[in-house]
Amino acid sequence: MTKAERSWIFYDWANSAHTLIIVTTILPIFFKNFAAKDMEPYLSTAYWGYGNFGAHLIGAVMAPVLGALADRRGRKKPYFAFFLAVGLLSTLLLVSVGEGAWFSCLLVYGLSVIGFTGANTIYDSFLVDVTEKKRMDWVSSCGYAWGYFGSTIPFLLSMAIIMKPEWFGLSSGITPTRVAFGITAGWWLVFSLPLLRNVRQVYFVEPVGNAIADSLRRLGTTLRNIRATPQVFLFLLAYFCYIDGIYTIIEMAVVYGSDVGIGSDQLMIILLVTQFVAFPFAILYGRLAKTFSAKNMILVGIVVYLGVTIFAYFIRTELHFWILAILVGTSQGGVQSLSRSFFGKIIPPERSAEFFGFYNIWGKFASIVGTLLVGLVTQLTGASRNGVLSLILLFIVGGLILLRVEEEGPQGHPGQQGPKGH
């Protein structure tokens, strides 16, 4: 591998710590048990859902304009560095959140998500700059794989500090958790340096007039092209629904587990195991897709997640939650990776970069509807299990829409529309 390719992969290794520690495990526990300590459990779950909704909504609205702006000559790295700094500083600020300061916690967390989203939007676009087309699948897969593995190292260190603080000369209480936030920021920073040093923007558009106006014009062109290809548009609708449900389950898992009585330490161990399960099953989904097609394997994953949401309603014990987490791990990576390859088969190849740009933007909206739905249903019914069960709607709608999407157009040309939309 070239230095640029390795440096690009290292950023996936770097930023995955934020996903696992801040979004998925330790911070949600910190929020439930400390920042929202005196709040009713169902209400803190609802507020966590609202906080995620707000942060992802801002990130989603921002992403398309940011991506178009960053495509201009010499702008990728400055934008990347700015949003990386926002993510790092806000993650570090979580160290200062006090007991009962639930609003401050959600605000700082939201800023870290916005910084993460902005930096990741630019990071994804750097793939075309660091490698050639025939190596993109391999380089991208390596980033995906190392991201899963890399996130476990700071997580295990953080778990050790939280569970055995005396080994590190720390007192028990909230201090070890604060240290975990510092470790996340430090890990993210250190392994982002190779990208900042060794990756440069190779492909760009020349500035034409006002930067924002030109970027919005290009976004409008992309949107019109997508609407003119019904199969692509249908797939994006399906993807929005089912990936929304998947991301919501990932983000709400810890607070839900806490509500049903699973201890904090056990929650962290369970979700770590989920990370290890997800990687080999993503590979398995890829192999099975050669025989049964990517579309059918995505549908299998959607069915698994339907089972997950129904099973989540009935869980009562720690063993139940273990089963739930492993089921999530079996399909999480497979659905994500095959969705990307499926999309590649149905878009016009001569405009693939343009369409994949919109695909990534659409993905940024994921978990907006789901987290809002969970928050509202949980607050209205007073039970978080009802909120999780409501996600069934997203998987059913997504699966039904996906059934209408052709995997290839006539004569094997992706996205070519026949008289009946085939």
Tens digits of residue pLDDT in 270-323:
877 887 887 778 778 877 877 888 899 889 999 999 998 888 888 777 788 888
Higher-pLDDT residue of 7, 414: 7
Higher-pLDDT residue of 281, 415: 281
For residues 250 and 212, state if they share a domain.
Answer: no
Q: What is the mean pLDDT of residues 50-57?
A: 86
Give the predicted TM-score (pTM) of the model. Answer: 0.73
For residues 12 and 147, state if they share a domain.
Answer: yes
- Residue 77 makes CB contacts below 8 A (sequence gap 6+) with 122, 196, 199, 200, 201
- Decide: 33 and 256 in contact? Cβ < 8 Å: no
Q: Dihedral through CA 345, CA 221, CA 124, CA 242, nearest 10? A: -60
N-to-C CA span, the chain: 40
Maximum average pLDDT range among 92-96, 244-248, 255-259: 92-96
Domain end (from 199, 227, 255): 227
In tens, the pLDDT along 152-200 reads 899 999 989 998 999 999 888 899 999 999 999 999 999 999 999 999 9
Q: Which of 8-17, 65-74, 162-171 has the lowest mean pLDDT?
A: 65-74
For residues 182 and 282, state if they share a domain.
Answer: no
317-329: b or e for each residue (b if 16 or more CB lie within 10 Å)?
Answer: ebeebbebbbbbb
Residue 138, pLDDT > 60, answer: yes
For residues 319 and 374, state if they share a domain.
Answer: yes
CATH code for position 200: 1.20.1250.20
Q: Which of 98-107, 110-119, 263-272 has the lowest mean pLDDT?
A: 263-272
For residues 264 and 133, state if they share a domain.
Answer: no
Output the average pLDDT for the chain: 81
Residue 50 to residue 124: CA distance in whole angstroms: 27
At 141, list the tokens: 């897969």
Q: Which of 55-59, 82-86, 168-172, 371-375 has the lowest mean pLDDT?
A: 371-375
Q: Which residues pair with 72 in a beta bridge?
A: 205
Domain end (from 227, 249, 278): 227
Range of the domain at 9: 1-227
Which amino acid is present at 298? I
The pLDDT > 90 percentage for the chain reads 28
Q: pLDDT band at 365, cuts 50/70/90?
A: low
Number of domains in the chain: 2
